[in-house]
Amino acid sequence: MIRCVKCNQVHAITRAGILRGKQRYYCKDCKTYFTLPDADKKVVAETGKKHMATIVDIAKALNISKSTVSRALREHSDINPQTREAVLKKARQLDYQPNQLAQSLVKSKSNTIGIIVPEFLTYFFPTIIMGAQEVAAKAGYNVIICQSQETFKTEVANAQVLLSNRVEGVLISMTKDTKNFEHFRTFERHGIPVVFFNRVCEEMNTPRVLVDDYNGAFMAVEHLIKNGYKNIAHIGGPSILRISHNRLNGYKDALKKHKLKIKDELITHCDLSKDAAHACAEKLLNLKNRPDAVFCVNDPAAIQLMLVAKNMGIKIPEKLGVVGFSNDPISAVIDPALTTVEQPVADIGRTAMRLLLDNIKKGIDGFKPVTKSLKTNLIERQSSVRKK
Amino acid sequence: MIRCVKCNQVHAITRAGILRGKQRYYCKDCKTYFTLPDADKKVVAETGKKHMATIVDIAKALNISKSTVSRALREHSDINPQTREAVLKKARQLDYQPNQLAQSLVKSKSNTIGIIVPEFLTYFFPTIIMGAQEVAAKAGYNVIICQSQETFKTEVANAQVLLSNRVEGVLISMTKDTKNFEHFRTFERHGIPVVFFNRVCEEMNTPRVLVDDYNGAFMAVEHLIKNGYKNIAHIGGPSILRISHNRLNGYKDALKKHKLKIKDELITHCDLSKDAAHACAEKLLNLKNRPDAVFCVNDPAAIQLMLVAKNMGIKIPEKLGVVGFSNDPISAVIDPALTTVEQPVADIGRTAMRLLLDNIKKGIDGFKPVTKSLKTNLIERQSSVRKK
DNA sequence: CTGAAAGCGCTAACAT
DNA sequence: ATGTTAGCGCTTTCAG
C-alpha cells in the first residue's frame, strides 16, 4: 500500500532501486520518483541503544568505499599509507569496534572455542579452565564456558548452544551420568573437533587428556602399605567414569603386588557428591572389620572421611590412614594435612587446548586420536604417616 | 577476465543475474547465457568442514521459500501447521542448527552477557559466576567469561573482546589496580549496561552489588573484643578497593565503640596475593607489641596468618585470635576452624545478573544506579573463641 | 498463508 | 590503490 506522494495514487507504483539505504519508488502515473519519509527511525534512536560505528560510517565520513576501510583496518595487501592512517584515525574518533558476529558470519569462522565442564564447585575445573583459556587467548581464540551441572539434559543443551554459536572446537569433561553420546557425535558430524579431558568418552574416537590415574592410585596405596596399613579400603567414584576405573585398578594392583586380599566390602562407590562420600565414609568406618586406611578417589571425599572419623573419635593417622587424590588446596591446610596424589591441573587445561587448536588447524580429517596422559605425583603429608 | 564458453570472447560479456546461487553471464557477441563451471567448490568439500544445514537447504528440499522456513522454525505468526511440521521434520533430518551469529547480526542482539573477573584462584569468583550463569541461562542468555588476571592491560583487552562480540551487558569485578575507567565508559557510550560487583568502580554511575562489608567487619572485631582480645590488628586489602575501605572502617569503628585505641602499626595492607598476606602476617607477629588477635580482609589471608603463627609456635586461639572474611570452604576444615564472616557468594552473582538483565530490558536510559548490599553473617568457629 | 526482497556488518573476488 | 558487487544465514517488512 504505497501511495504516491504527488498524485496520491496507489496502483501505478513500482520499486525503483535503493537510494541511500532506502527503498525508492516510481509512480508511472505522474512520473515521479520518491521515497517514503521515515517516521519510525526516531523510535530506534530513542531506545538508548547508541549506534555503534560501522565501516560504512567510516567510509562515508572519509568519502571512500567500505572495502578500502576494511582493508585499512585489516592491514590488508596494498593500501595507501595515508588512506590507512586516515581510516585508523577516524575509527578511533568514532569509537569503532569491529563486529565479530558479522566477521564470523562472512568468514564462517567464529574464533570461539566451547568448553563443557560438570561444575565449578571445587577448585578443579576452574583451574583447568584457567589453563585452557590462557592457551586459547594466546592463539586469539575466545572461549564460551558451559556448566552441565552434572546433568545430562543440561549437557545436551550446552552442546546445542555451542553448535549454534558455531564454535570451532570443543573441550569436554562429561557429567557422571552421560551414557548417550549423540550430542557429542553431532560435533564430529559437522567437522568440529572435540577433545575430552578428565572425564573422557570411551566410545568416541577423539583425542583425550588424562592424568595417570592408575599409577597415582598405585603409588598412593603402596605408600599406605609401606606405612604398615594392612586393611585398606577404597572410596571410589561412579563406575562409568574411566578415572574411577583406573584408580580402582591401581588400588587393586597395589594390594595384589603386596599380597593383600582384595575385599569387596572395603570397596565403595560414591557419585562424587559430598553427601555420597559422607555416606561411604560412614559405611566403611562402621564395618565390624574396620579398615585401618582408606584411599579416596578425590580430596573432597577424603575430607568427608576425615570429618566422619573425627566425629567418631578415630585418630588419623594412628588408627586410620587417609590418602586423597588431586591435591586440592584444602588438603595442605587441613589437620592433619592430607596425603594426596597431585595432578597438574592447569596443565590438563593447557594440554587439552593445545591439542584442540592443533586439530582445528589440521581439520577433522587430520585427526589423530592421541591420548595424553599427564604425570601424577604423590605428596606425603601427615594423614598417612605413622610415627614408628 | 570472463571468457565466453562458446565464442571464447572476452569483451562482450555482461553479468546477467544469479542462477542457483551462481553468477550468470551473457555474451553479447554470440548471444548466449552461461555460468562458469565451479572448479574450486570441491576444495571446500575436501577440507573436512562438513556443511551445516541452513534454512535455504530446508527450503530447497521442501520447495518452499526460506522465509516460510524461518517462520516455521521461529513459530511465527500464522503458518500452515502442515508446512510447519514438514519443516521441523526436515530440520531434524538435516541436523539443522540455527546460526546464532547470523541471527544476532540481523537482530542486532547477541543474546550474550560478558563477565570480567580478576581471577579463578579461589572459590570466590567461580562461585559468583555459577550464580550469575544460572540466572542468565534461565533468561536464555549466554555468557562469555573473561579473566583479567588482576592486570589492567588484560582487562582493557577483555573489554574489547566483549565489545566486539556485541554483548548486551557486562558484569565486572575490577582488578586491584584499575585506576582508569575509559574501557568501562566505552560500554556506557554504546548503551551497554554495566553492573559492578564486589570490586566496584566508585567513579561510575552504575548499579553495583556488594556485601555489607562494614557490618561484617564490625561484627567480626566486636566478636574478638567480646572474647577478651584487646590488641587487635588488621590485615587489610589494597586501599583503592572499596571493600578494603569498608572492612577497615568496620574494624576501626568497632574498636572505637569499645574504647580501644586504633594503632597505625597494627594496620597493614596486602594486595590480596598469598605472598603479601604472608609478609603482613610476619610483620605483625614480629612486632614488639604483638597483637593478640587479627581481623583479616579475607580467608586466604587469615590462613596465611595461621600458618605463620603455627610456624612461630603461637597458639590459636589462646595466644592469637583470628577472624577471616568470606567463609572459604577451607575455613571450615582448617585446624583450628576459622571464624569468618560469611557472604552469600552465589547470591552476589545472581543478584548482579538479575540487576543487569533488568537494565538491559529497560534500556540504558532507564538505569537506576542502585547499590545492592547483601547481608553478611558471622560464623563463630574455634580460631577466635578462648575457653574461659 | 506464502514468497520476494532488503539488509544486519563485514570480507573477498573481481574489475578498474 | 580503490571501488563494485555478491554473499555469509538469517529476520522482517511488504505485497500478494
Rounded distance, CA A33 to CA A17, Å?
10
Identify whether residues B111 and B90 lie together within a single domain.
no
Residues in chain B closer than 8 A to A120 (CB atoms): 126-127, 129-130
Closest residue to C1 (CA to C1') is B79
Spatial distance from the CA of B165 to the C1' of C2 (Å): 35
Sign of CA dihedral A135, A141, A142, A143: negative
* Residue A275 and residue A228 share a domain: yes
Helix (H) or strand (E) holding A23: strand A22-27
Domain extent for B78: 52-98
SS3 for B341? Answer: strand
Contact criterion met (CB < 8 Å) for A97 and B133: no
CA–C1' B33–D10 (A)? 31
Q: What is the tens place of the pLDDT at every residue in A279-300?
A: 999 999 999 999 999 999 999 9
| Pair B302, B206 in one domain | no
Question: Nearest CA of chain A to the CA of B253: how many Å?
Answer: 32
> From CA B58, how far away is CA B89, in angstroms rounded?
10
Is B104 within 8 Å of chain A by CB?
yes
* Cβ-defined contact of A126 to B120 (cutoff 8 Å): yes
A350 and A203 in one domain? Answer: yes
Same structural domain, A234 and A337: yes
- The cell for B234 is 588488621
Domain of A289: which CATH number? 3.40.50.2300
The rounded distance, in Å, linking the Cα atoms of A201 and A145 is 19
pLDDT exceeds cutoff 60 at A371:
yes
Q: How many CB pairs under 8 A join A and B?
A: 123
Answer whether residue A267 shows pLDDT above 90: yes
Residues B221-242 pLDDT 10s: 999 999 999 999 999 999 888 8
Q: CA B213 to CA B205: how far, in whole Å?
A: 20
Sign of CA dihedral B120, B126, B132, B137: positive
The burial of B112, by beta-carbon neighbours within 10 Å (0-12 exposed, 13-18 middle, 19 or more buried), is given as: buried
Give A63-111 pLDDT, tens digit per residue.
Answer: 999 999 999 998 766 788 888 999 999 999 898 999 999 999 999 889 9
Give residue B38's pLDDT: 38
DSSP string, B162-220: HHHTT-SEEEE---TT----HHHHHHHHTT--EEEESS--TTS---EEEE-HHHHHHHH
A161 interfacial to chain B (CB closer than 8 Å):
yes
Beta bridge partners of B367: none
Partner A contacted by B139 (CB < 8 A) = no
For residue A230, the surrounding DSSP H or E stretch is none
**Considering only alpha carbons, which residue of chain A is nearest residue B119?**
A130
Of A165, A192, A178, A188, give the one whose Cα is nearest residue A242.
A178
- Using the beta-carbon criterion (under 8 Å), do B166 and A100 form an inter-chain contact? yes
Specify the pLDDT at position A302: 97
Give me chain A's average pLDDT, please: 87
> CA A290 to CA A287: how far, in whole Å?
5
Longest dimension (CA), chain B: 110
β-bridge pairing A339-342 and A321-325? parallel
Cβ–Cβ below 8 Å for A165 and B333: no
Q: Among partner residues B143, B186, B303, which is closest to A95 by beta-carbon distance?
A: B186
Burial of residue B8 (CB within 10 Å: 0-12, 13-18, 19+) is exposed
SS3 A108: coil
User: What pLDDT, on a 0 to 100 scale, did the predictor assign at position A41?
Assistant: 34
Instruction: Please answer whether residues A299 and A331 qualify as being in contact, where contact means their C-beta atoms are separated by less than 8 angstroms.
Output: yes
Nucleotide nearest to B81 (CA to C1'): C1
pLDDT exceeds cutoff 50 at A244: yes
pTM: 0.83
Q: Which residue is nearest to nucleotide C15 (CA to C1')?
A: B1
In tens, the pLDDT along B136-158 reads 999 999 999 999 999 999 999 99
pLDDT at A36: 46
Q: What is the distance in angstroms between the CA of the first residue and the CA of the last residue of chain B?
A: 97
In DSSP terms, B112 is beta-bridged to B142
Same domain, residue pair B226 and B300: yes
Neighbour count for residue A42 (Cβ, 10 Å): 8
pLDDT over 70, % of chain A: 86
Please give the helix or strand (H or E) that residue B140 lies within, else none. none
Residues A234, A205 share a domain: no
Residue that has been written with the C-alpha cell 552461461 in this structure: B34
* A165, A263: one domain: no
User: Do A172 and A241 share a structural domain?
Assistant: no
Question: Is the predicted pLDDT of residue B16 greater than 50, yes or no?
Answer: no
Residue in B closest to A183 by C-alpha: B95
- Say if residue B223 is in the same domain as residue B156: no
Q: Are residues A229 and A338 in the same domain?
A: yes
B15 and B132 together in one domain: no
> Comparing A67 with A25, which gets the higher pLDDT?
A67
Q: By C-alpha distance, which of A255, A262, A250 is closest to A226?
A: A255
Q: How far apart are the C-alpha atoms of A230 and A227, rounded to whole Å?
A: 9
**Distance from A236 to chain B by nearest Cα, in Å?**
22
Last residue of a domain, one of B51, B67, B90: B51
pLDDT at A365: 67
Q: Is B42 exposed, middle or buried (0-12, 13-18, 19+ CB in 10 A)?
A: exposed
323-342 in chain B: CB under 8 A from chain A? 329-330, 333-335
Residue B254's Cβ-count burial label (10 Å; 0-12, 13-18, 19+) is: buried
Distance A361 CA to D2 C1' (A): 33
Q: Which residues contact A21 (CB under 8 A, 6 or more apart)?
A: none
Q: How confident is the model at residue A47 (pLDDT cuts 50, 70, 90)?
A: very low
Nearest CA of chain B to the CA of A49: how many Å? Answer: 5
A146 touches A158 (CB < 8 A):
yes
Domain count, chain B: 4
Which SS3 state, helix, strand or coil, does residue B28 take?
coil
Q: CA separation (Å) from B166 to A100, A172, A249, A386, B140?
A: 8, 26, 49, 59, 16
> Could you give the residue ranges of the DSSP H alpha helices within B4-54?
41-46
